[in-house]
Structure 1
């Protein structure tokens, strides 16, 4: 047993080659024409390895354990963390990675994760490109998801994975171990003494020597097994007793310890008999599945992960399960992992136990007592023992044979292994004779299985033209028309574009039949066509034409009519169907003005107009994005129907397609693209959808916007820019500003606006202009004042104006600015779609004096009237000295002329400083006679520092209203002039009552009344004649007998009450009291002989008619005086009642 154990050197330095390391046809793209798009593969260097140290370590081992040749380097490299992806011109993509381990004779790889989707191709090659593995495809996927890649010559290898667009992102590759060969596995460089090639004893015979000429078929089934860094065992392909489609069964020794990740090396032999030379180890199959094993006879039956490719010309050796011993025996093997050798015994073997000599022993083994030519050594374990008819009778278990002691080798007997341990997992019968035919011998043969005999068959790319034969094919089952007809299969993907596909067998040599199916797993979900003779009249060949919306998987089944077989030629072509898109170029881009925006499109038939992303031209389409709000915008082809390798760019400045590239994307989400940029409102951005290299197809484009960005600093009051010195100029842009403010009085709708705060140290005329340089949009200017920003009073507003002598959509305003007063300048647009860059210029046109500073000021001809002003910029022009408060303050003047006599109230309530107010009349402005004046008055029921006056304005008389301040106060004011409406004193009744006179009048709502008495009507309103200031509507005079008195009753307005109280009764000037009179009556208590009426201050004769009409109407010269326009009252005297109008 020690000999057996010594032959087994285990290792984990094996990297999966995908499903069996069987290579499909193809050439790495880096080695093909048009590979300039591929950048250099990035290199990952391995830690330094000391070859000499490994060799020295091996030298200390027993010779039987010196079969290892490679060191294991743990790594973790996958498609995401290593290598680079590059888009291929056909819409697929290529991943490349170079691995370098200095001083390695060769490198192999172990994959802990491995999956290649249909259509993907993996190549591995060395730097000299003289050792190329691949294409490895989906056929190389192994059931456990791992794999290995055989050793390739040199100290650096490059992996190249191609993924078609249809299977983008589906591949999975994770490299877990790099195998660094410190022995010369290939013998192409300087060999050292411990290389496996040539390590076998000199007595061994090369398989190509003349003595072995009869065994040149069988040798093609005998192979070497490597595991990790070691060449461990030998074995052979073995044929199952079935007519066709033989399973890839492989017989070796159980003690070799199958690990699941072996590599089986075919045709490793010296190219000549002598001199001995190293051979190629490039033909390999990796991975297998254990089908059965049994320790008693030391057999192990595996099924390789795939059939060896046709190029290997593998031979499936036959077998003999009879108990009778053969007349001679041959062993084909790889002693010490050397090139293939041939050993012969010309005697019959004997039946015995392993390691014994007694006959029959336990009967499990054949004993070769002595080899006539050659021997076996470590590494020969598992090799087949052939009888004289070239059939396998057992596999090598072990022994003591060597060139120095060429005796006693033991082979487990196939006849014993046939029944084995009694179950399918421990015997050969279930696998080598699945139909239980009872056969005891089966001859070896080359396989007749076609590579594309079963679905899905061969993967091809379009256009495709190829030949083949169905003569050796088997039937896949019932077709769309004929059952059990030999057939072969092909599959392909249509382009990402809508297309018309033609599949033709028209140039074939027999009566064909054609089945085409679409979608899903093989054989396809939907039948596309089932056709026989349609290549023209008299032509028995087949052809099918159909449409594809893009990226369909198509399965083609080639068969014959009614069981016919023969040679065929398959031609597949594709023609694009998509129309030229409307937005193919800048002449008609698709406009996008509202977000979010989603659309689908195609570049299949678009022209290649634009070069972007530094990647050259590609089929492309154009979208123009213009938004009315500054925001972050994202354009993406991720998701949806996007089915090709897209590119995206966004450009701006100038006409389409723009001169400045803002963003560019190739692979953002897989092979789809996404760009994000900050957009300014109103600015056109050109989004171009193209493909990597020449890729084209269908896509979904999503354009979305984020929140508002980029608002200027002076977008609102918090950042209003100060303008404190003139001239002032500032360039800005309203595109990203919010529409913050909208005021009644300026008109137009809200728009993007920005703010400036003007405050000048002296009164001056200010001009604000947007004319130079002209903005690119329709502007509007607005100036506000009052209160905090943005103001509450409109000062000036303009939309369109003259700029440079010509009409313009730009704006200018001019206004008088008060010293130390905030004015809020709003730069805006005509409407919500008007915004853009501007240049604001603010200049001074000289000093400013209020328009009301000098006579006659603002003319007021109708009531009510409201005005606003400011005496800050006024002068003290009219100090008349006729009002009781100081007259040193500047004042503004208003001229009031009304068409009808009426009571007038003038109020400065709400003004911003301690005001003074007076009214004059007569002569030229500012008037000769003071009518009324006031300093402080009640406003809204509270005492204030503002002023109010009331007086009767005569029709056609001009009154000059002066707005001033207490002492020298100035400031902003609000002036309100309106008609005073208060019913006159009415129904005055005077009665004599026993020596006194009682006056009664109707309450007209006044707070107080004044009662005057005089013996002379001409001096009735003299201050000394003010008798009483009653708050009620009656008064009694107790000392009237013997004297004729004239009485007058007036009401006192609210605003005069405090002043009258403060001054004392009878101390106010007569003219002040006169100003308050609206209706009064004076009447003697004695019998009346005549009556005199006055209207206003002008005497007039009126008619007095007794109320009872008992007396004739008489015009009397004197007696009763009626003051106030439009008054009507009853007068009662002893014995008489009169009605006066």
Structure 2
């Protein structure tokens, strides 16, 4: 149900498109937290290599630093790990297989499963052996085209996997295998004093609570590294809650990175300057699809695989941004809990170069310059939104100079990225057309269809229609917004 938030009318040829923030009613029904099926059964123990501490930071150069935060690394599995794990029948006829992987000195662990599971009644729960959390059950997770899936992270030196097979299902089940392990070695989520001491706790600004609820700490796998940035939900002209997330292209630049996305929601203090929560216990969503990007302004738009727990979607303005306007940023510096920064817009820069802390992975972007006088931003803040005085998003953080205010940070320009993103945000086709064979610029129209049914499900207005050209679409996905799928020109087969 729509409870507030209105599309800003009157966008004419002279006035750029803009949309206000949207607050959707979130169900107050609370489900009982998941529990292990058979916690009394001893788990099969697997000892992983000791986690290597992060290297010492390289002193920053005089270049603008990009603000993606490395928080760990990935190693391939050295051997089949699950094949030797025993199964045990339970009195009700079902069966469980319980495994604990442990790495000394790990801050957190995450596993990549390859193959598939769920078609024969198998489900997985991921848990903290120390007892803080149980996640799942996962019965049909969305595997990548390479048939891999990244589990949620468990913070601590061990991660538990409990596979459960329902009674009467074929035994033994088709099991996936662990193909890689992510070793987190940055304790930033647990060390509130780790970022610079000039940050502002977002909870101390309660008038920004709605906007803050739309901002998430995001982590993902990037090559052989685990990395962290910030993302946020964006509203659109339809005001229908399509789960669209903005972040920086230098954070999520590939579909493999998007698949591995893990978004942590409400990772913020419960009271002003209070203690942050254990990240094991905050809501999270897994996975995303890369919908559109505009590299010249460091923008990417993602569609979340799972429904976000936040009901607020940020407004935006695709017009020019005057200097000396109020500017506010909300972000997760060094992958820690949520902060807020205040300052003003200070013009723009074209083709600004950004590099990481080792002066590698450089890129250029057209940016808005923002001078912060209270608060700052750091690695981990990349991809976060900056708001103007009307509380509309104007950019996504690309980087900037390191240090405390007064300090300049630089945000990829939304006004430049908007034409590329608009098929999902403003110029929404109705109906939305899909043709798997189409190879040109996709806008969802009859002449420029989208080549994926799932991607089209993020573009279509809730309750409206997707028209799919006859053919086979080897996609598996879950749709939870109302819409109609209609075949045109013959039979459409999805999922085979």
In the other structure, the counterpart of 1:392 is 393
* RMSD of aligned residue pairs (Cα, Å): 3.8
Aligned partners of 2:328 and 2:386 also within 8 Å: yes
Aligned partners of 2:36 and 2:162 also within 8 Å: yes
Shift of 1:25: 5.9
In the other structure, the counterpart of 2:36 is 28
Q: State the distance in 2 between where 1:237 and 1:223 align.
A: 8
Aligned partners of 2:68 and 2:227 also within 8 Å: no
In the other structure, the counterpart of 1:1055 is none
Are residues 293 and 272 of structure 1, via their aligned partners in 2, closer, same or farther at CA, if it must alter by over 3 Å? Answer: same
Are residues 105 and 398 of structure 1, via their aligned partners in 2, closer, same or farther at CA, if it must alter by over 3 Å? Answer: closer
Q: Does 1:322 align with 2:319?
A: yes
Are residues 45 and 351 of structure 1, via their aligned partners in 2, closer, same or farther at CA, if it must alter by over 3 Å? Answer: closer
Aligned partners of 1:328 and 1:349 also within 8 Å: no
Shift of 1:103: 3.5
Q: Does 1:266 align with 2:268?
A: no
Shift of 1:220: 1.7
**Max Rg structure:** 1
SS of equivalent to 1:82: coil
Shift of 1:388: 2.4
Q: State the distance in 1 between where 2:289 and 2:202 align.
A: 29
Aligned partners of 1:24 and 1:137 also within 8 Å: no
Q: State the distance in 2 between where 1:118 and 1:236 align.
A: 36
- Stretches of 4+ aligned residues off by more than 6 angstroms: 63-66, 455-458, 475-478
Q: State the distance in 2 between where 1:161 and 1:363 align.
A: 46
Aligned partners of 2:189 and 2:337 also within 8 Å: no
Q: How big is each residue's C-alpha offset from its partner over 1:669-714, in whole Å with a ceiling of 9 and x where there is no partner?
A: xxxxxxxxxxxxxxxxxxxxxxxxxxxxxxxxxxxxxxxxxxxxxx
Shift of 1:279: 4.5
In the other structure, the counterpart of 2:243 is 248
SS of equivalent to 1:396: strand
Q: State the distance in 2 between where 1:289 and 1:186 align.
A: 26
Shift of 1:206: 1.0
Q: State the distance in 2 between where 1:160 and 1:456 align.
A: 24
Are residues 241 and 76 of structure 1, via their aligned partners in 2, closer, same or farther at CA, if it must alter by over 3 Å? Answer: farther
Q: How big is each residue's C-alpha offset from its partner over 1:764-799, in whole Å with a ceiling of 9 and x where there is no partner?
A: xxxxxxxxxxxxxxxxxxxxxxxxxxxxxxxxxxxx
Q: State the distance in 2 between where 1:371 and 1:335 align.
A: 15
Which of 337, 340, 365 is the equivalent residue of 2:338? 340
In the other structure, the counterpart of 2:298 is 298
Q: State the distance in 1 between where 2:152 and 2:481 align.
A: 31
Aligned partners of 2:73 and 2:226 also within 8 Å: no
SS of equivalent to 1:30: coil
Q: How big is each residue's C-alpha offset from its partner over 1:393-426, in whole Å with a ceiling of 9 and x where there is no partner?
A: 21112222520x533322122121111xxxxxxx
Q: State the distance in 1 between where 2:477 and 2:104 align.
A: 42
Which of 199, 206, 211 is the equivalent residue of 1:218? 211
Shift of 1:428: 0.4
Aligned partners of 1:226 and 1:262 also within 8 Å: yes
Aligned partners of 1:279 and 1:339 also within 8 Å: no
Q: What number of residue pairs does the alignment pair up?
A: 391
In the other structure, the counterpart of 1:376 is 377
Q: State the distance in 1 between where 2:298 and 2:68 align.
A: 23
Q: State the distance in 1 between where 2:175 and 2:162 align.
A: 13
Q: State the distance in 2 between where 1:186 and 1:152 align.
A: 12
Q: State the distance in 1 between where 2:82 and 2:156 align.
A: 26
Alignment of 1:613-762 (within 5 A): none
Are residues 276 and 127 of structure 1, via their aligned partners in 2, closer, same or farther at CA, if it must alter by over 3 Å? Answer: closer
Aligned partners of 2:188 and 2:336 also within 8 Å: no
Aligned partners of 1:384 and 1:392 also within 8 Å: yes
Which of 218, 229, 243 is the equivalent residue of 1:233? 229
Shift of 1:248: 2.1
Unpaired stretches in structure 2, ≥5 consecutive residues: 1-30, 354-363, 431-460, 464-475, 487-492
SS of equivalent to 1:412: strand
Aligned partners of 1:234 and 1:381 also within 8 Å: yes
Aligned partners of 1:233 and 1:256 also within 8 Å: yes
Q: State the distance in 2 between where 1:43 and 1:86 align.
A: 15
Q: State the distance in 2 between where 1:286 and 1:457 align.
A: 13
SS of equivalent to 2:151: strand
In the other structure, the counterpart of 1:125 is 127
SS of equivalent to 2:296: coil
Are residues 118 and 221 of structure 1, via their aligned partners in 2, closer, same or farther at CA, if it must alter by over 3 Å? Answer: farther
Are residues 434 and 87 of structure 1, via their aligned partners in 2, closer, same or farther at CA, if it must alter by over 3 Å? Answer: farther
Q: State the distance in 1 between where 2:478 and 2:395 align.
A: 36
TM-score normalised to structure 2 length? 0.68
Q: State the distance in 2 between where 1:257 and 1:372 align.
A: 29
Q: Does 1:428 align with 2:436?
A: no
SS of equivalent to 2:301: strand
Aligned partners of 1:25 and 1:134 also within 8 Å: no
Which of 200, 209, 223 is the equivalent residue of 1:205? 200
Q: How big is each residue's C-alpha offset from its partner over 1:57-101, in whole Å with a ceiling of 9 and x where there is no partner?
A: x22534779944435443156686132222344443322212122
Q: How big is each residue's C-alpha offset from its partner over 1:589-610, in whole Å with a ceiling of 9 and x where there is no partner?
A: xxxxxxxxxxxxxxxxxxxxxx
Aligned partners of 1:240 and 1:432 also within 8 Å: yes
Aligned partners of 2:72 and 2:227 also within 8 Å: no
Alignment of 1:756-795 (within 5 A): none
Q: State the distance in 2 between where 1:239 and 1:290 align.
A: 17
Alignment of 1:885-964 (within 5 A): none
Shift of 1:320: 1.8
Shift of 1:234: 1.5
Aligned partners of 1:334 and 1:380 also within 8 Å: yes
Are residues 429 and 69 of structure 1, via their aligned partners in 2, closer, same or farther at CA, if it must alter by over 3 Å? Answer: closer
Aligned partners of 1:131 and 1:153 also within 8 Å: no
Aligned partners of 1:367 and 1:408 also within 8 Å: yes
Are residues 365 and 158 of structure 1, via their aligned partners in 2, closer, same or farther at CA, if it must alter by over 3 Å? Answer: closer
Q: State the distance in 1 between where 2:36 and 2:142 align.
A: 17
